[in-house]
Amino acid sequence: MTSTGELLDRPSAVRLQPAYDDTAAVLEVIRGASPFWAIASYGASEAEIKALSNDGRSSIFVPPWFRRDFALHGEALVPGAEVILDNPHFVQGAHDVFGPDAVVVPTTVYVNVMVPGPVPFIAHTDVPAFRGFTRDDHPLWLLIQMHHSGLFEDHRIKLATAVSWFYEGSGGEFHYWPEGPTKPNETISTPYDNIAVVADNERTYHGVAPVGQEAPLIKGLTLSTQLHRVDGGWEMREGDEPLHTATDDDVRITVSWKGEVFADEADRQRTLDHSDDIDMDHVVSTFVADMRARGVEVDVPADPHHDEAWVAAVSSTYGRTPPTPS
């Protein structure tokens, strides 16, 4: 079985070019899907937004960034999404990061559409998954802090993430930290010439500079604002009310592909047969024992998903301050 220590001897991120054999086909699939939902809505609640930000914010800001799932659990949700899900270049990139003998199973594709505005996508790591404990049944804040704590690493499901882009405008540079958050970052700038970065994104911090040049802040968006495809561009709507439009040249499209990675078939089978799953009782008791050992006074929560005191205690104990681009 490949351990985290062994993974640290390999690059946590590699550049890949070409990303696709047919970029026009990928764009056709993306532009044929509508609507997209506000990325901020994936945080679910104000308490979770605070936990993820780790900076004490008490209000939810909704930037003009939108997302749609194109494939989940290895199944395409959008017509034609197989051109992304089954991309052999991404599988090869996963082997470059996790090793040539790894078993790579493509599972997920989602697409972000970012409308210009003076807001960066701050450096972050992606949401991890654990055996028996995933975002299907548990909130994002909890999964992220489980990973930050290092207490559940033996049960983390390794994921390869391939990120690629469609955008030729100003801004929107992609920053990533393949050697860790205390080392200098690397940057990929526009135009994105059919290039991708494949990484263990639960270990690799990454972020995006503001899209556009001196673009004004679009205000008044809510968690229910949607982005719809219109002729030659995109339109934000609150229900049936149009709020703002953007051309195809304006928006920055990001495609994220994920594949589960296993050391071998036995490692994969352990996940499939759930013989090594963890549950909420295990997660809570592990957190409580570790926090109390650190001198943190914490009670066992009745509702570990939503108890605000519990969310705050876990977040303040294990939350990390993200790096900033050099």
Domain that holds residue 171: 4-318
User: Could you give the CA distance from residue 197 to residue 174 in angstroms, rounded to a whole number?
Assistant: 10
Q: Is residue 301 part of a domain?
A: yes
- Confidence (pLDDT) at 59: 54
- Averaged pLDDT in 10-residue chunks for the chain of 326 residues: 48 92 97 95 58 48 94 97 98 94 96 95 90 92 94 92 96 93 92 94 93 89 96 95 95 96 90 92 98 97 96 95 90
Q: Is residue 323 part of a domain?
A: no
Question: Could you tell me if 115 and 139 are in contact, meaning their C-beta atoms sit under 8 angstroms apart?
Answer: no
- Confidence (pLDDT) at 69: 97
Question: Could you tell me if 204 and 13 are in contact, meaning their C-beta atoms sit under 8 angstroms apart?
Answer: yes
pTM of the full structure: 0.81
Coil/strand/helix, residue 303: coil
Q: Is residue 177 part of a domain?
A: yes
Beta strands 36-38 and 196-199 are: unpaired
User: Could you give the CA distance from residue 5 to residue 201 in angstroms, rounded to a whole number?
Assistant: 16
- Confidence (pLDDT) at 50: 52
Q: Is residue 324 part of a domain?
A: no
Q: What is the CATH number of the domain that holds 311?
A: 2.60.120.620
Q: Is residue 314 part of a domain?
A: yes
Helices (H), the chain: 4-7, 23-31, 46-53, 82-85, 88-98, 140-149, 265-272, 280-293, 308-318
Q: Is residue 326 part of a domain?
A: no
Q: What is the DSSP string of 120-182?
A: -EEEE-PPPEETTB-TTTS-HHHHHHHHHHTTTGGGEEEEEEEEEEE--SSB--EEE-TT-TT
Virtual torsion, Cα 51, 57, 62, 66, nearest 10 deg: -30
Q: How many domains does the chain have?
A: 1
Virtual torsion, Cα 116, 119, 123, 124, nearest 10 deg: -80
* Count of beta carbons in the 10 Å neighbourhood of residue 305: 17
- Confidence (pLDDT) at 278: 96
